[in-house]
């Protein structure tokens, strides 16, 4: 697929916070470290990373809410440093949680947002409410909204500036499975039917796999992986193969296809390996032709999760280990 034009780009983006308390370690905290992200027009881009990786800080810089220590953010070719108003004119966003006046209705809250975005007609307001499925509850106070309804109202607010880019910080955070699905389907439809580009941070790896065409994993302020998910999958996803004489089968695959199968013993010994561009059906055919009885051949179910766990560190992991000990 040819790459379209970059819509959101960060180049050498860096944010250093000054620590207020100097109990231990350095006086500075590098929250975002030389970050290079490229989101192309039409992407649904998933931004992953453990707690404290720097996702929200990146998003805040991309929205001009805080200044980078170094580096730049370009939106549709405009440098944010040259003025946020023009660069962000066609961006709808929320960071962490959308904020509303609880004692006002959903509709009234949107009117206030609309005022901030330069005025919107009643029809456009109704359309935004309808788009997120809140038409019937638009005249209830936000105080009585469920968390999912508030998230959807947040997305409605993002739609008011008629954006071409939506930047959403954990849009499905705290939602139940129904709410997650609703928001996911809404975002997919906004991307597919309305041609919006969506950049979202998330902790749900499965969600990113299902929803996004491109993704980045961030840890300690840097990306450790970035690219088109289908390409990343081809490169990293492993195949699990259960076959007769597994050690011999591993040797055979090494010689024949240059693969590097790892034999994991257990109740049902199996080979695990990255396909490196080979196709699962060809591996199967070759094994069978060579007289190895293939009993099971399954693509690794949670490959993105494995990479995430292997390559990122949890800041809470020490606590958990001490608690276990
Ligand atoms: N205003 C601030 N002052 C000082 N440190 C900050 C500030 N904002 C964020 N940080 C620190 O920067 C690091 C990155 O935080 P950030 O909120 O960007 O992470 P995140 O990836 O969004 O995490 P989460 O998944 O928990 O939302 C953290 O160590 C955080 O404590
Ligand atoms: Mg965050």
The Cβ-side half-sphere exposure at 184, using a 13 Å CA radius, reads: 19
Protein residue whose Cα sits closest to atom 18 of ligand 1 = 54
Average pLDDT over residues 1-27: 80
The pLDDT score that the predictor gives to residue 229 is: 94
Cα of 221 from ligand 1 centre, angstroms: 10
169 alpha carbon – ligand 2 mean position (Å): 7
Looking at residue 313, the DSSP 8-state letter turns out to be -
For atom 3 of ligand 1, which residue has the closest CA? Answer: 17
212 shares its domain with 113:
yes
Whether residues 255 and 206 share a domain: the answer is no
Mean pLDDT of the region 139-165:
92
Long-range contacts at 145-150 (CB < 8 A, ≥ 24 apart): 145/106, 146/179, 147/174, 147/175, 147/179, 148/175, 148/176, 148/178, 148/179, 148/182, 148/183, 149/106, 150/97, 150/98, 150/100
Q: What is the pTM of this model?
A: 0.87
Please report which helix (H) or strand (E) contains residue 152, including its range. helix 147-159
For atom 12 of ligand 1, the residue with the nearest CA is 31
Question: Does 88 reside within a domain?
Answer: yes
Q: CA 111, CA 117: separation in Å to the nearest integer? A: 10
pLDDT band for 179, please (50, 70, 90 cuts): confident
Interval 53-76: pLDDT, tens: 999 999 999 999 999 999 999 999
Is the pLDDT at 219 greater than 90? The verdict is yes
Q: What percent of the chain has pLDDT over 90?
A: 67
Judge if 219 and 248 occupy the same domain: no
Residues 21 and 86 placed together within one structural domain of the fold:
yes
Ligand 1 centre to CA of 162 (Å) is: 29
Distance CA 267, CA 269 (A): 6
On whether both 196 and 282 belong to a single domain, the answer is no
For residue 53, which atom of ligand 1 is closest to its CA?
21
pLDDT of residue 197: 97
State the average pLDDT over residues 169-198. Answer: 91
Nearest CA to ligand 1 atom 31: 52
Which residue lies with its CA nearest to atom 17 of ligand 1?
A: 56
Q: Which domain holds residue 278?
A: 238-299
Which ligand is closest in space to the CA of residue 50? 1
CA-angle at 123, arms to 118 and 126, nearest 5°: 100
Mutation probe of ligand 1 site: the residue of 18, 19, 25, 56 with most atoms within 8 A of C-beta: 56
Name all residues whose Cβ lies below 6 A of ligand 1.
17, 29, 31, 49, 51-57
**Whether residue 108 sits in one domain with residue 82:** yes
- Do 254 and 202 belong to one domain? no
**CB of 147 within 8 A of CB of 163?**
no
| Residue 261, CA atoms < 13 Å, CB-side half-sphere | 26
Question: What pLDDT, on the 0 to 100 scale, is given for residue 99?
Answer: 86
Report the chain's terminal Cα–Cα distance, integer Å. 50
Q: Which ligand is nearest to the CA of 219?
A: 1
Residue whose Cα lies nearest atom 30 of ligand 1: it is: 52
Q: Whose CA is nearest to atom 25 of ligand 1?
A: 51
Rounded CA-CA distance 63/131 in Å is 24
Instruction: Report the pLDDT value the prediction gives residue 321, as an integer from 0 to 100.
Output: 44
Distance 256 CA to ligand 1 centre (A): 48
154 and 11 belong to one structural domain: yes
Given 229, 249, 269, which residue is the final one in a domain?
Answer: 229
Task: Give whichever of 1-5, 159-163, 313-317 has the largest mean pLDDT.
Answer: 159-163
| Tokens 């970059």 sit on residue | 6
Q: Residue 321: inside a domain, yes or no? A: no
Give the CATH number for residue 262. Answer: 3.30.70
| Per-residue pLDDT band at 325 (split at 50, 70, 90) | very low
Output the CA torsion sign for 110, 111, 116, 121: positive
pLDDT given at position 290: 95
Mutating to test ligand 1, I would choose from 55, 171, 174 the residue with most ligand atoms within 8 A of its C-beta, which is: 55
Residue 18 maps to a domain: yes
Q: Any idea which of 33-42, 96-105, 161-170, 284-293 has the lowest mean pLDDT?
A: 96-105
The pLDDT score that the predictor gives to residue 323 is 43
Give buried/exposed letters for 54-79 (b at 16+ CB in 10 A, else e).
Answer: bbbbbbbbbbbeeebbebebbbbeee
Rounded to the nearest angstrom, the distance between the alpha carbon of 262 and the centre of ligand 1 is 38
Residues 190 and 274 in one domain: no
Please check whether residue 182 lies inside any domain of the structure: yes
Give me the pLDDT at residue 154, please: 93
Indicate whether 24 pLDDT > 90. no
- The string of pLDDT tens digits covering residues 82-120 is 998 899 999 999 887 788 999 999 999 999 888 765 678
pLDDT at 289: 96
Per-residue pLDDT at 16: 96
């Amino acid at each position: 697929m040819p790459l379209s034009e970059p819509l959101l780009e960060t180049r050498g983006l860096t944010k250093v916070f000054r620590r207020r308390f100097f109990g231990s370690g350095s006086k500075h905290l590098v929250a975002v470290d030389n970050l290079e992200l490229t989101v192309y027009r039409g992407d649904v881009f998933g931004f992953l990373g453990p707690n404290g990786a720097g996702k929200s800080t990146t998003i805040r810089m991309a929205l001009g809410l805080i200044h980078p220590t170094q580096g730049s953010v370009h939106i549709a070719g405009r440098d944010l440093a040259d003025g946020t108003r023009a660069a962000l004119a066609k961006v709808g966003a929320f960071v962490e949680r959308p904020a509303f006046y609880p004692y006002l209705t959903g509709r009234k809250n949107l009117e206030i947002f609309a005022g901030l975005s330069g005025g919107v007609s009643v029809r456009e307001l109704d359309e935004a409410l309808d788009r997120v499925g809140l038409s019937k509850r638009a005249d209830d106070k936000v105080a009585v909204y469920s968390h999912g309804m508030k998230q959807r109202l947040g997305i409605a607010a993002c739609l008011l500036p008629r954006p071409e880019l939506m930047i959403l910080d954990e849009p499905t955070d705290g939602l139940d499975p129904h709410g997650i699905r609703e928001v996911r389907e809404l975002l997919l439809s906004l991307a597919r039917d309305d041609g919006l580009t969506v950049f979202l941070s998330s902790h749900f790896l499965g969600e990113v796999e299902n929803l996004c065409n491109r993704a980045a994993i961030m840890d300690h302020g840097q990306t450790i992986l970035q690219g088109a998910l289908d390409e990343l999958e081809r490169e990293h996803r492993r195949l699990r193969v259960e076959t007769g004489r597994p050690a011999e089968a591993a040797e055979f695959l090494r010689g024949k296809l240059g693969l590097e199968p790892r034999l994991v013993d257990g109740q049902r010994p199996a080979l695990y390996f990255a396909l490196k561009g080979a196709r699962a059906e060809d591996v199967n055919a070759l094994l069978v032709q060579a007289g190895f009885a293939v009993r099971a051949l399954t693509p690794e179910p949670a490959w993105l999760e494995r990479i995430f766990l292997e390559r990122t560190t949890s800041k809470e992991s020490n606590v958990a280990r001490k608690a276990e000990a």
